[in-house]
Structure 1
Amino acid sequence: MESPESQEREDGIRLRKKVQENQEDVESSDCEDDAKTDLVKRIIESTKELTDCMPTDLPSAKRMLEDGLHAAAEFSSDMAAGAGAVAEQAGDICRKVIEASWKVCHFQALPHWLQDNDYLIWGHRPPLPSFTACFQSLFRIHTETGNIWTHLIGCVAFVSLAVYTLIWSELQSEERLVFAAFFAGAILCLGLSCTYHTVHCHSEFVGKLFSKLDYVGISFLIMGSLVPWLYYTFYCQYQPKVIYLTVATVLGFGAIITSMVDRFGEPKYRPFRAGIFIAFGLSGAIPAIHYAVMEGWVNAVSYASLGWLILMGSLYILGALLYAGRIPECYFPGKCDIWFQSHQIFHVLVIAAAFVHYQGISEMAVYRLTNNQCPASTEATLA
């Protein structure tokens, strides 16, 4: 059986270990206030002195030590909370100053992650680490003003058109779903594009994230545009309709996956980005040729709105080429900083192409509503 003295000695050893552990915890706390740090250090030094005399007066030393450690822990917690509150207040003040006082700047004054088009020399927004400031910039004049408002107006227009078409038209349930796919693609594309151009100056992380979502929106627009056209073009041919719709979906999600790769968003890959979406859009040429060969060019133009499809594709391709070549600002550096830059023209052509496509599929829908008859052989195949 152990003697009282040996028991006290073991208790003292265990208490010293506990003190050392608490000392390490206290010393590792992040404290920016020198006066409070010195106070904590004095408490630690006093606890060290107590541990030296522990075997002689263990109960009183233990009580004093516990009181000291408890006080040190409270000081550490208070200091951490105080430092966090000060940092939060400082951040709020900085955000308010930025929101109220930012000015447009030169291209060379931008951080590298905002330097996208070096032909736009002046009028850029600086980094705005506040979503409030980003959205307030909607009402300021800068290089992104045209990009934001072209697709914002287009998005509102297609929301209104979708409500009218899907609620008050004479479309059947299945056809409403087909038109809904088109409207969903158009609204997602225009909405995500508008949001990207509004907030991409917030931070590098936010800019990259919404840049990817912008390309995702383009993929959804192309997929949504192909769905109603393929549905009505091969209205009486079930097998090719399913095959082409499946291929369009697979290509669309392939483009979405590619869009999510970080390197894809770098300025040097601008031509590659344009090429991906041009190739995806041109994939609709294969079913168009198929239908024209099968039914004849006259029927393709009359019943499959091939003329509208060609016009839509031409507008998309023209916009993508201007975007990739940075035309016209590459010929007039500094002259298109605010208006008439390639990206704005691209936006306008995208909206025009979407309205052209809506006109085409609307004509196809009217034809099917008034001539909802398929050849007998086709009906047998469908049955």
Structure 2
Amino acid sequence: MATIPMEKLGLVYTSLQQIMDLPPTLMETAPSMPGTVRDTEVPHYFRGQFIFTGYRPLYQEWRYYFLSLFQRHNETVNVWTHLLPFVVFLFKLCQFNQSVDFVGDPHSWPLLVLLLSSVIYTGCSAVAHLLGGKSELCHYAFYFLDYVGVAQYQYGCAMVHFYYANEEDWHQLLSGIFMPMASFLTCLSCLGYCFGKYCNHKQPTVVHQVCQLVPSTLAFCWDNSPIVHRLLSCTRDCKDPAIPYYRGQVVLSLSSAFFFAVPLLERCFPGQCDFIGQGHQLFHVFIAFFTLSQIHTAHLDFENRRDLYSRLHHSRDAAFFVKLYFLILVVCSLTAAFIWQKIKHQVDLKTKSE
């Protein structure tokens, strides 16, 4: 009988020895990770303003770019500032699914579209920042996917604002044109993003920023007009519980727009923000908190304003808006695919000439 404890001790010792041997084994079997390179070693369309180091080399194996999720390079923070919100928004979707009848209640569909569009845009953006450095065509393909994700999220914002956040007088003023105009501006934003990236293919130009900023700014102003009207309509004795969140969203949206357009820290400290502190990283953080606040207020309005929005909207309105959402997905995807094909044609011509 004494041999049984000794056998167990021997098994424990063997297991511990195998665990101690595991890290060297993993190091031997894991693929070697090439070091990062300088901006002069990658094409101009990969480079960020005032970002000089931390670029991943092109044309590596796919597993290198997937594993670079845990490597220190100038896109690491950009990936994680979308990947973590993706998990949070997916959790919120699962959480609301326990209390909201997304199948049987058409009035809940705008909230569902916002949740889905939030998950999609963060997921697409994380993939673009993670895998967009493999090659020239991959760079444009994944970033065009990102632009489609951003565009459909814009529509999701417009949908919840018009459906839940609207005041009755603003709804009567714009009821026939708000969502069609929001749909048009969404498609225009996607076209602007993709065409601006296409213009940047040959050389960096101001057209790149103009094409990306102007349509998205127009869409933002239009999509958030119900919020602005509601804030202006709220008097001093207003007890609307959503108002503080909407005020916070104004601050977050303006902050995110500023850091998206202006590389402030990189400009002030060139070369010091190559890995952390980039304006685009701050843009990601602000827009993630903006989306989280937006989801909260949409759910708040869904719960507290049912008498109002159920009077302003028929159930067929929600179904029509959902159909528009899928139509926009198709149109934006086709737009991105068309412009990507134009870039692919130029790349093929350049390859043949070499």
Name the TM-score, length of structure 1 as normaliser: 0.64
Aligned match of 1:167 = 98
Aligned match of 2:341 = none
Which of 246, 261, 268 in structure 2 is aligned with 1:331? 268
What displacement does 1:101 show?
4.2
1:179 aligns with 2:118: no
Which of 254, 257, 260 in structure 1 is aligned with 2:191? 257
What displacement does 1:110 show?
1.7
Asked whether the 8 Å contact 1:158–1:187 carries over to 2, the reply is: yes
What displacement does 1:227 show?
1.0
Mapped partners of 1:99, 1:224: distance in 2:
41
| 2:268 partner SS | coil
- CA gap 1:167/1:250 in 2 versus in 1, 3 angstroms: farther
Which of 152, 156, 166 in structure 1 is aligned with 2:83? 152
Paired amino acid for 2:100? S
Mapped partners of 1:132, 1:233: distance in 2:
45
- CA gap 1:211/1:264 in 2 versus in 1, 3 angstroms: farther
1:140 aligns with 2:74: no
Asked whether the 8 Å contact 2:192–2:211 carries over to 1, the reply is: no
User: Superposition RMSD on alpha carbons, in Å?
Assistant: 3.2
Structure 2: runs of 5+ lacking an equivalent: 1-29, 317-354
**Seq. identity, %:** 20
1:315 aligns with 2:252: yes
What displacement does 1:167 show?
3.1
1:298 aligns with 2:235: yes
Mapped partners of 2:238, 2:227: distance in 1:
10
1:190 aligns with 2:122: yes
- CA gap 1:200/1:330 in 2 versus in 1, 3 angstroms: same
Aligned match of 2:158 = 226
Larger Rg: 1
- CA gap 1:177/1:285 in 2 versus in 1, 3 angstroms: closer
What displacement does 1:278 show?
2.6
Name the TM-score, length of structure 2 as normaliser: 0.69
Mapped partners of 1:222, 1:101: distance in 2:
37
Aligned match of 2:287 = 350
Mapped partners of 1:299, 1:365: distance in 2:
24
| 2:54 partner SS | strand
Paired amino acid for 1:146? V
1:276 aligns with 2:215: yes
Mapped partners of 2:309, 2:121: distance in 1:
35
Correspondences of 1:355-366 after superposition (within 5 Å): 355-366=292-303
Mapped partners of 1:300, 1:191: distance in 2:
41
The aligned length equals 278
Asked whether the 8 Å contact 2:73–2:275 carries over to 1, the reply is: yes
**Greater relative CO, 1 or 2 (CA 8 Å, sep 6+):** 2
Mapped partners of 2:199, 2:253: distance in 1:
20
Aligned match of 1:42 = none
| 1:226 partner SS | helix
Mapped partners of 1:245, 1:291: distance in 2:
18
What displacement does 1:99 show?
5.3
